[in-house]
Amino acid sequence: MNFMWNGKLWQFQQNLFDSYVAGRRSFSKDEIDYLKANLPIKIARWLAPSNLVIRHLCLLDLMSKECSFVSVIKELVDILAYNKKNKRINIWAEGYAYWAGDTRPFLIEWIKAVNLSGIEDLKTTVSEINNNFRRTSYERNGVSYPAPFGDVWDCPLEDALQQPKDKGNVLPVVRVCDPIIKISTKPIGFNMHTDTVEKPYDTTTGIPIDMETDKPFKFYKGYEEKYPTKWSEIKAMLSIKRFLSAFKLIFERESS
């Protein structure tokens, strides 16, 4: 059984993905079986949907040249994009960096490889998530930065999302009334990059300022800094809102 998680699993996935993108199209049964045997992914798929889970399932399909996880990947993307059947928000709950740097590259390669008519809506979702990060961005010295929610680094949007500058609302998660950005997020199970946040930020200076405390937004600087001890991680994980979110995830998926 494979128990890799967090940074070690991320790096393992990244090495395999980089190899695939570089042109490797043949993977051994042992490599594929090792991925399949990852226990934390099997648990997180239900209790803590995240970029790691989506990356993992995309890799399994790419490496095995199969389409085994189409419905699951589509479901997980909708969960992390705050999408419901009757309301599609299309913005990434973990924050911009975990979308653009960690999730989207895997999804794009997987979409190209799967090439099924049934994933046209997923192509649209990818495009709309990109567009909504652009539309909800704020400016610093003429450069667009992603809305302050999730675990977001103090880095600008990629060049392709810098233009055009039109703004717009993505309700109910990000409301933009320039220069004010109102954030309203919820946790997604035990995904520790997501949380309950109900805050207005003033971006006049180019740095998001919490209008309730007058303090600047605390940008993400890595998992170890956010949770410097195991107890700090466990304490955050034991939030009643996370437990309720996890139970809700299971109930909604079982009843769908």
Domain count, the chain: 1
> Residue 227's pLDDT is what?
92
For residue 249 the two structure tokens come to 């995830």
Q: Does residue 237 fall inside a structural domain?
A: yes
Q: Are 92 and 129 in contact (CB under 8 A)?
A: yes
The pLDDT score that the predictor gives to residue 86 is 84
Pairing of strands 143-145, 209-210: unpaired
Is 54 domain-assigned?
A: yes
Q: Would you say residue 1 lies in a domain?
A: no
pLDDT at 115: 77
DSSP of the chain, one letter per residue?
Answer: -B---HHHHHHHHHHHHHHHHTT-----HHHHHHHHTBHHHHHHHHH---HHHHHHHHHHHHHHT--TTHHHHHHHHHHHTT-BTTB-----TT-HHIIIIIIHHHHHHHHHHH--GGGHHHHHHHHHHHHHHHHT-EEETTEEE--S-SS--S-PPPGGGS-------BTTTEEEETTEEEEEE---TT-TT---EEEEEE-TTSS-EETTT--B------HHHHS-SHHHHHHHHT-HHHHHHHHHHHHHHHH-
**pLDDT at residue 119, rounded to an integer:** 85
What is residue 215's predicted lDDT score, i.e. its pLDDT? 97
Whether 99 is in a domain gets the answer yes
What does the pLDDT read at residue 254? 67
Q: Are 16 and 31 in contact (CB under 8 A)?
A: yes
The percent of residues in the chain predicted with pLDDT above 70, rounded, is 99
The CA angle 147-149-155, to the nearest 5 degrees, is 55
Does residue 241 form part of some domain?
Answer: yes
pLDDT, position 163:
85
Residue 20 lies in a domain: yes
Residue 131 placed within a domain: yes
**Residue 41 counted as domain residue:** yes
What residue ranges of the chain have pLDDT lower than 50? none
Condensed to tens digits (0 to 9), the pLDDT of residues 187-202 reads 999 999 999 999 999 9
- Residue 59: the pLDDT is 97
Q: What residues make up the domain containing 91?
A: 6-255
Q: What is the pTM of this model?
A: 0.95
